Structure 1
Amino acid sequence: MSVAEPRRIVLFRHAKADWPQVDDHERPLADRGRRDAPVAGRKLADSGITFDYALCSTALRTRETWKLAVGELPERPRTVYEERIYEASPGELIAVLNETPEDVRNVVLVGHNPGVQGLADVLAGDSEGDTLTRMSRRGFPTAAFAVLTHTGSWKSLEPGTATLVDYWSPSE
């Protein structure tokens, strides 16, 4: 693929988690999360984006979210479970995305707040329509996702180099 073709990055926050007496990394999805994750997966499928690659936090709630969402996609992308996504800052998430193989055109990153929302804010040097306003107004609730485009190599992804083109949350 040519680096001049826009690449898509979907930043997907895990669905609603439960709060049982377990380590934070092992928190499962709540009933609402188990309902919202497949809905988000259908919305991703409706976007028409064909994902080549998925990066998912190793936390139980992100793995469960991805398992429920990916079942709604027409094709399952190659998935990498990456422990560095858990509790990552926007800069650490950019470093993970910089390592994406160059043959990948579209990637979905399943992670946590505040990192996912911070990354969307940091990457978006521009936005289309009212996407930035909607995302800013709603924040980044559980099961929400933002779609950004980036023209260039994955190694060249840095703050301000992407365009926010879509945003969805279960409350929309």
Structure 2
Amino acid sequence: MSADTPRRIVLLRHAKAEWTQESDHERPLAERGRMDAPAAGRRLAGAGITPDLTLCSSAARTRETWKLFVGELPQRPKTVYDDRLYEASLGELIAVLNETSDEVTNLLVVGHNPGMHALADALAGETEGDLLARMNRGGFPTSAMAVIEFNGSWKSVEHGVGRLTAYWPPHE
């Protein structure tokens, strides 16, 4: 696959989690999150987007979100659970994207805020209409997804590389 192939990044913030006494890393999904995660999966499938690879934070709430989300997709992509996605900075998230093989066309990242919102905002250099403003007004709530498209190698992912082509908050 050529390095100038059109590529797509789907950023998914984990579904709504419980506020329990457990460590933050081990917090489970709340009932609302268990309903929102499959709905987000149906939305992505309905848009005709099937990930080739999913990178998922190792936190319990992201793993549970992914388990419920993936059941709605037409096929199950390869999944990598990555500790670096938990509490990752923008620079760390971009570094993880830069490691992606150019065999991957559609990448799904299941992570946390503020990272998912910051990454979507940073990568979306060219966006038509008010999509970026709408995403930024919404604050990237739990179960929100952003789709960013770009041409080139994953090694070239940096600020402003792509364009935001979809933003799907939950319940919209």
The normalised TM-score by structure 1 is 0.97
Indicate yes or no: 2:37 matched with 1:37: yes
Residue in 2 that maps onto 1:150: 150
1:105: which partner in 2? 105
1:82-116 per-residue CA deviation (whole Å, 9 max, x = no partner) reads 00000001110000011111100000000000010
Partner of 1:58: 58
Q: Secondary structure at the match of 1:127?
A: coil
> Unaligned regions of 5+ residues in structure 1, if any?
none
Identity %: 66
Q: CA RMSD in A?
A: 0.9
How far apart, in 1, do the equivalents of 2:44 and 2:6 lie?
A: 18
Runs of 4+ in 1 over 2 A off after TM superposition: 2-5
Q: Secondary structure at the match of 2:125?
A: strand
1:80 is aligned to 80
Distance 1:48 1:114, change over 3 A: same
Distance 1:66 1:129 in 2: 30
Provide the C-alpha distance between the structure 2 equivalents of 1:87 and 1:65, rounded to a whole number of angstroms.
17
Cα distance in structure 1, aligned partners of 2:76 and 2:127: 28
Alignment of 1:1-172 (within 5 A): 1-172=1-172
Q: Distance in 2 between matches of 1:134 and 1:72?
A: 26
Aligned partner of residue 116 in structure 1, secondary structure = helix
Q: Distance in 2 between matches of 1:128 and 1:139?
A: 19
Normalising to structure 2: TM-score of the pair?
0.97
Give the whole-Å Cα distance in 1 for the aligned partners of 2:94 and 2:11. 11
**Could you tell me how far 1:157 is from its partner in structure 2?**
0.5
